[in-house]
Amino acid sequence: MIRIMLVDDHPIVRAGLRAVLEPVDDFEVVAEASDAGEATAFATGQHIDVVLMDLRLHGAEPGGRDGVAATADLRALDPAPQVLILTTYASDADVVRATEAGAIGYLLKDTAPDVLISGIRSAAAGQTVLSPPIAARLLDRMTSPAQALTARELDVVEQLAVGGSNREIAKRLFISEATVKSHLVHIFDKLGVTSRTRVVAVARERGLVS
């Protein structure tokens, strides 16, 4: 039996997932959570095989406890459940942060029910699960590593999209202003642009940020 926890801040989404998963003979939905704290509390000391995790959780501000933070917390537990991201967000920044936090897979919410069911079984077996658009994007990063933005560079690009000076971005990311400037030099070079405005425009065109 595969024991599953649902983490999503929308009750109707959790109810829909339950309706899809509970009829499956080898599945048992044992817990639900609406935020990172609830997810970690429910999972601590419990046997959970797979967590379906949304990325954007209610009340999670930039740098706050979103689905990525919850994923890292869950993967630090003993025993640690496998975390399968299920979200509408598919930017490079989201994918990179989720995988670096320990997620075993990344599916989009337009995934067909049978694909989701198969993905949960694969995750429980320790196998990577990726939606085709996500797999293609990760493959592109692997085949063009020199031009792929690092996770921290993606953080800076996302902050540029939000707006603010180098000093404000440095404060949000807990790094120095000089480090922000250094990242911007590399970002400009990799994206082939010469202005902050073009960084944001190109990043959005390429799906690097939401």
pLDDT digits (tens, 9 = 90+) for 141-188: 666 655 678 888 999 999 999 998 999 999 999 999 999 999 998 898
Same domain, 33 and 117: yes
Same domain, 6 and 52: yes
- Residue 176: domain span: 151-205
Q: In angstroms, how far is the first alpha carbon of the chain from the final one?
A: 36
Residue 195 sits in a domain whose CATH number is: 1.10.10.10
Strands 50-53 and 2-7: parallel
Confidence class of residue 67 from pLDDT cuts 50, 70 and 90?
very high
Backbone angles phi, psi at 27, to 5 degrees: -110, 145
* Tally of domains in the chain: 2
Same domain, 99 and 176: no
Same domain, 190 and 127: no
Q: Is residue 10 part of a domain?
A: yes
Predicted model pTM: 0.72
Q: Is residue 64 part of a domain?
A: yes
Q: Is residue 146 part of a domain?
A: no
Output 150 or 41, whichever has higher pLDDT: 41
Q: Is residue 210 part of a domain?
A: no
pLDDT over 50 (residue 50)? yes
Same domain, 117 and 163: no
Tokens of 207: 């799906």
Q: Residue 198 to residues 2, 136, 195: CA-CA distances in angstroms?
A: 47, 24, 5
Tokens of 59: 């009340």
84 touches 116 (CB < 8 A)? no
pLDDT tens digits along 184-210: 988 988 888 888 999 999 888 887 887
